[in-house]
Amino acid sequence: MKNNLQDEKIIEGLRMNFVGECTDVGMYLAMSRQADTSIHGHFKCEKCKKVYDLKINFSDLDLSGLDQFQLDEHHFYFKGRCFNCRKDLH
């Protein structure tokens, strides 16, 4: 079992390294301890602030326009209202 002090130091270190919008996603993944390491995207609900993992099918993406570039990272991050919060609109 991990020491609570050690967990607090890890979480504080993550807080210091994530800035702006990344804070919610980074802290969600760090605290859940169930990070999805597969290639996927995220949807963040602007109302309830929940973050959902999304499956991304890379075989359907046309990336031919990036042939001249070196890709170091990629991110798929969507924002809006989740299905639960959309119910509140009607």
Show the tokens assigned to 3.
């020491």
pTM metric for this prediction: 0.53
Give me the average pLDDT of each 10-residue run along the chain (90 residues): 64 60 57 64 91 86 88 88 83
| Per-residue model confidence (pLDDT) at position 1 | 46
Domains of the chain: residue spans and CATH: 1-35 (no CATH), 36-63+75-90 (3.30.1490.190)
User: Among 79, 84, 88, which residue's Cα sits nearest to residue 21?
Assistant: 79
Pairwise CA distance, residues 41 & 74, whole Å:
10
